[in-house]
Structure 1
């Protein structure tokens, strides 16, 4: 009996999201929460109650006679790439079980596997998704990612990544409202494909914000980053990607002393990332207002096989 286990972290978008879908620049950080897949080979097949991601992975790479066990500490449908992290861990295990393990020790190997994860999520699982999730759960850390040449209708070349060694003065706060990011991306992509000037202009602004916001983050110009995050949120909101729960949480973050707050992912619900010089103080104040789900971004390893 052979057992294989892998895990991958969630992620939070700091600035520029969701311009990764449109050839933009995004800065993201990993979170300590991880999704885990464990495969036991050579036993009668046992699948999770919802096998959607398993079916997506094995549609491309069949595998039988296996017990599949999943666990995760990434909040469900919260815009923190939880599904992508679980798919990446599962796909890595499947390939290893087929004696075709992904190459995770080289930059090109990590990029190729990131592209494979996104391709399967989009075309086998049918999720309207960008690229930052797949790249982040595979690479981990704090990354500046440039997706030049990618569009909703064109995969384009692999992304260019730069690992950042920067502070993370942020606090993630989850609304508790579950939303699938694809339900927000889909309508905007459709409008972009139709060439709507408002959408095309907004995406161009997001691309510029990714560039300038990254420079501010690397230079520790927090006031400038706060302005960029606020504009990023305004653009997403105007495109229909915010919602009542998010708007209230952002207002509460600002009232409790945050310099800025914006969607980290999963529009109309999901999670907010707040820029703050004192995450613990902000957490305490928000707790008094009834919020209870907090995560602090951290420089975590990406996809990895695990011993147990």
Structure 2
């Protein structure tokens, strides 16, 4: 399985999608479950071609709003190239990588994991090599861990091709059943416009849990209970109860110190606009708010009026990615 298996292929292609965390961010690092969803309409494409000289990575943003790659994404991009080349036993030089992303960076939407996944797929495709799902996951995790520190794996599992919600715990993911009536409710995602930092947020939550002692353990248990309940609410189409679980999870995230004024304002606005529940999604300290609703236009309007830079709608029911 060495470099001698190169082909005449001139371009390699890869794609991955964005993700949301419905419940369980941060506490998933302490053995509690999380529920994630893919965002198939927002994603990353990457192409890889052979060139002369060192590896180059160029990033563009399809939406044209901001640079496609933040500092963390740039680091992950280069680490992903090195990781996949080492795995394939091919030279990690003489490659030109082009990344086109419409996932806002540092917003809790899995930008860095999706970029890593798309690049790894593109380089493997250039060499006409197939990667198993577990190998792809491991390579994304390697890239994420070196760039950001401890990564739970929920981002990597979700961006590489889940169809609908995933239950994630202790590194293992499985699809969650969703009620047929789930198309009556959607998640409206509001971008605060404030960049978050997963590394800083994880450290903040760790310090807060340590300071809380036994009360911190109680928070983790409560968060786990909310996530278990949310899985049942999804299965049986209990949207009001699911919304309550989301808002309860937000209260825990506030106590963990990973919310911020911009997030709090959008959560309040979404609830006032008729959302069944609302919370931050992802690392926090900025990023995005998700609001569950059966009246998307009203919540969309409320979020924009409260300062959201942009909004999008994500279905709860399974979709093909």
Superposition pairs for residues 262-281 of structure 1, below 5 Å? 262-281=279-298
Partner residue of 2:83 out of 60, 85, 98: 60
Contact preservation (8 Å) 1:12, 1:297: no
Q: Are the aligned partners of 1:27 and 1:145 in contact in 2 as well (CA < 8 Å)? A: yes
Where does residue 28 of structure 2 map in the other structure? Answer: 20
Change (3 A) 1:243 1:191: closer
Alignment of 1:90 with 2:113, yes or no, is: no
Going from structure 1 to structure 2, the CA distance change for 1:16 and 1:64 (only over 3 Å counts) comes to same
* 1:203 CA displacement: 1.7
Q: Normalising by structure 2, what TM-score? A: 0.80
Q: Which residue number corresponds to residue 107 of structure 1? A: none
1:205-220 counterparts in 2 under 5 A? 205-220=222-237
C-alpha RMSD over aligned residues:
2.4
What is the CA distance between 1:13 and its match in structure 2? 1.2
- Match of 1:256? 273
Shift of 1:99: 4.7
Matches within 5 A, 1:1-308: 2-31=10-39, 32-44=41-53, 45-48=55-58, 51-62=74-85, 63-103=92-132, 110-122=133-145, 124-147=146-169, 150=170, 158-166=171-179, 167=182, 168-189=185-206, 196-298=213-315, 299-302=318-321
| Cα distance change of structure 1 residues 39 and 83 upon mapping to structure 2, 3 Å threshold | same
Structure 1 residue runs of 5 or longer lacking an equivalent are 104-109, 151-157, 303-308
The answer to whether the 8 A contact 1:23-1:146 is kept is no
Q: Separation in 2 of the partners of 1:25 and 1:35? A: 27
Partners of 2:20 and 2:37 within 8 A in 1: yes
Unpaired stretches in structure 2, ≥5 consecutive residues? 1-8, 60-70, 86-91
Distance 1:192 1:291, change over 3 A: closer
Alignment check: 8 A CA contact 1:141 1:163 kept: no
Greater CA deviation, 251-260 or 93-102? 93-102
